[in-house]
Chains A and B, each alone.
Chain A
Amino acid sequence: MSETYKKELTCIGCPLGCPVTVTLQDASGHCEIISVTGNTCPKGDAYARKEVTNPTRIVTTTVRVTDGAAPMVNVKTASDIPKEKISDCIAALRGVTVAAPVKIGDTILNNVAETGVAIIAAGNVTALPQEMR
């Protein structure tokens, strides 16, 4: 019988912010959820299970723009990516520049950090007129 351990989370499903405890057990290479307690409603249970098995986040940051009306543009992952890939994702974007104009939804980078998810623009930057570059 392998050992059980607990993870403490805060549910973000609503302002109540229930402190949720997930009890896990190591079972031959993967961990199994034994129980979820502390949640007030089923949303908290679902949230906690996802958070301990496959936590994901949308990542947002900025990249540099050349010849644009603004020096930076807001970009984001087109869908959520595994939480542990956040820093790889940011690292992959370091040094990336795009040429203006940039439009919301433009693909900036495909398959960021081997996640299968693209980085897309989340802001618009117009190009500077030729004489102002």
Chain B
Amino acid sequence: MIYHDLVIIGGGPAGLAAAVSAKDNGIDDILVIERDKEPGGILNQCIHNGFGLHTFGEELTGPEYAARFIDQVLSRGITCKKNTMAVDFSVEENRKVVTAMNREDGVFQISAGAVILAMGCRERPRGALNIPGFRPAGIYSAGTAQRLVNIEGLMPGREVVILGSGDIGLIMARRMTLEGAKVKVVAELMPYSGGLKRNIVQCLDDFNIPLKLSHTVIDIEGKKRVEAVTIAQVDENGRPVPGTEERYTCDTLLLSCGLIPENELSRSAGIHINSITSGPVVSDALETSADGVFACGNVLHVHDLVDYVSQEAAAAGKNAARFLRKNKTRHQEQIELVAENGVRYTVPSFLRPAEMDDTVTVRFRVDGVYRNHTITVCYDGRPAARRKRPVMAPGEMEQVILRREELALCPDLKRIAIRIEKA
């Protein structure tokens, strides 16, 4: 069996940044496994600009942002095995084995000193479309349509209705319009959009595409191909309101119903998964329930800004390097991190105070739109820090930074809660 100190599964922005950081922290024997024919992940199909504002101070397109990290990986001599898919991962008694396959080598096994999971996410299946009956052609997930248009150069259709106002749906509304299609409406089940404000303005408002909040698709017509779609307003319980139906003739329905971390491999290795994020439960070192197995990027929780993915991945790479260098005597002492009152989840889920860095970034999402509220951090039930936020929404990730020196002042601390409170 081949051995590598560090195996990284997935060569998207997370895997690439993790590789660069591990190398810069002294690990030389690194293997990145990527199933696609090029590294770069989802960025390769995101041809719009707006990536890297935080990291590089300029607005890059997805392929440009990816290329910067690919260059960093290549210039450090890190090996990336392309066209190679990890098909199984097992962790037994600290023995970590990744099974992978490709055309040249067939199926092979790699034993690893440490593993970083960076498999990204995939689109939620059509579940959101609660309509019984037949499915004609012309229904695509927004991400599939994005790949068809931007990578293959194929247009899925000419007259389009989009269900879901996540960023991919919004971006595809503009993209299809520019390519000559007529996007008739974007319907969103929730009373707010899950997408970034900037995308609503630049992808819908710029092209006078209506966004109908609290609306859903209730009927799809067409035998072979979609011919028309009917949408209706929904009440607070998500039930269509009679009399609000609007029918749109169209040949294409795009579904933009959100993303879900891709954790089949993590599950097969018995790694604990957080039921809210669908990503692994991790410590402040981004280490999963398996020693020496780390996770970062969209496989951990869905990010909307790639800059945060790169930051998180750099931390994972550094921590994996530290794990490989030292003979670990694990400190069992833990501080639990809890999401309360308006906070849906936190990443990480717990801290190991004896081993933590000087600062730890805790990322989280809120469960609704909050105006003039505070983010409150409580130490064992006692408010320790408050930060006022004029507005928070589920579409934009929030963060708080915990400092080791502050935690050191509370030696018996067991539980840190993050909550949203009225300002």
Enumerate chain A interface residues (CB-CB to B < 8 A).
Answer: 9-10, 12, 15-17, 40, 57-58, 60-62, 64, 69-72, 74, 76, 83, 86-87, 90, 104, 122-124
Contact = CB atoms under 8 A, between A and B. Distances in A.
A60 B61 contact: yes
18 contacts: A9-B201, A10-B200, A17-B197, A17-B391, A58-B49, A61-B178, A61-B179, A69-B37, A70-B38, A70-B151, A74-B64, A83-B206, A86-B206, A104-B67, A122-B47, A122-B63, A123-B61, A123-B64
B412 interface: no
Interface centre among B47, B48, B179 (most CB of A within 10 A): B47
A12 B198 contact: yes
Contact of A62 (B150, B201, B205): B150
Contacts of B59: 58
Nearest to B70: A124
A10 B200 CA distance: 9
Contacts, number: 78
A113 B198 CA distance: 26
Contacts of B206: 57, 83, 86
B197 A12 contact: yes
A72 B45 CA distance: 10
Contacts of A62: 47, 149-150, 153
Nearest to A83: B206
B242 interface: no
A40 B178 CA distance: 33
Contacts of B390: 16, 40
A124 B67 contact: yes
B152 A15 contact: no
B64 A71 contact: no
Interface residues on B, range: 20 to 34
Contacts of B396: 15
A12 B47 contact: no
B61 to A, nearest CB: 4
Contacts of A9: 201
Contact of A10 (B152, B179, B205): B205
Nearest to A8: B205
Interface string B320-345: 00000000000000000000000000
B201 A122 contact: no
B398 to A, nearest CB: 10
Contact of B63 (A57, A58, A123): A123
B178 A90 contact: yes
A72 B197 contact: no
Nearest to A93: B178
A90 B47 CA distance: 14
Contacts of B179: 61, 90
A90 B67 CA distance: 24
* Shortest beta-carbon contacts, A-B, top 3: A123-B63, A17-B197, A74-B47
